[in-house]
């Protein structure tokens, strides 16, 4: 997620899950979970965004949060009084987008701020699978 606000800086935000579901075959009512510990894997998108911005002479701040991505993005944008929220849409095809597109859709539905959704390449088509 990218936000822009007064002061001329852009913010890059990545949201990691609070818990990880443990895959298992169970008739239990709740899926067992364990707390998600932040790792370098969670920080990698922020490091990559920072490197790209620095090469282009753009001043950015990065933030790593945990929780529900759409909620955390909207809350963070409100906290910094963002002028615009830019969020990507992965374009994984009709079936996958029901889950994957839910973040950008959630931000669009919950935000009181302008939101720009940037669609990425269609991953299913690149993998040779019909979208």
Residue-level pLDDT at 9: 59
Domain count, the chain: 1
Asked, for residue 131, whether it belongs to a domain, the answer is: no
Give this prediction's pTM: 0.68
* Domain span holding position 76: 2-126
Residue-level pLDDT at 25: 59
Q: Mean pLDDT for each consecutive 10-residue tract of the chain (131 residues)?
A: 55 77 63 83 92 93 92 95 89 54 88 90 52 46
- Helix (H) and strand (E) counts in the chain: 5, 7
Residue 19 tokens read as 């818990």
What CATH number should be reported for the domain holding residue 64? 3.40.50.620
Residue-level pLDDT at 13: 79
Asked, for residue 99, whether it belongs to a domain, the answer is: yes
- Residue by residue, DSSP assigns 67-124 as S-HHHHHHHHHHHTT-SEEEEEE----HHHHHHHTHHHHHHHHH-SS-EEEEE---HH
Share above pLDDT 70 across residues of the chain, in percent, rounded to a whole number: 66
88, 104 contact by CB (below 8 A): yes
Among residues 102, 74, 68, 72, the alpha carbon closest in space to that of 88 is found at: 102
């Amino acid at each position: 997620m990218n936000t822009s606000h007064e002061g001329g800086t852009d913010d890059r935000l990545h949201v990691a899950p609070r818990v990880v579901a443990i895959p298992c075959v169970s008739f239990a009512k709740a899926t067992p979970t364990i707390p998600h510990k932040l790792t370098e894997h969670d920080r990698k998108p922020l490091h990559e965004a920072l490197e790209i911005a620095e090469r282009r002479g753009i001043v950015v701040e990065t933030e790593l949060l945990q929780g529900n991505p759409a909620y955390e993005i909207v809350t963070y944008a409100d906290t910094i009084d963002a002028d615009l929220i830019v969020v990507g849409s992965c374009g994984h095809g009709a079936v996958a987008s029901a889950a994957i597109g839910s973040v950008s859709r959630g931000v669009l539905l919950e935000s009181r701020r302008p939101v720009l959704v940037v669609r990425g390449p269609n991953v299913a088509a690149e993998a040779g699978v019909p979208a």
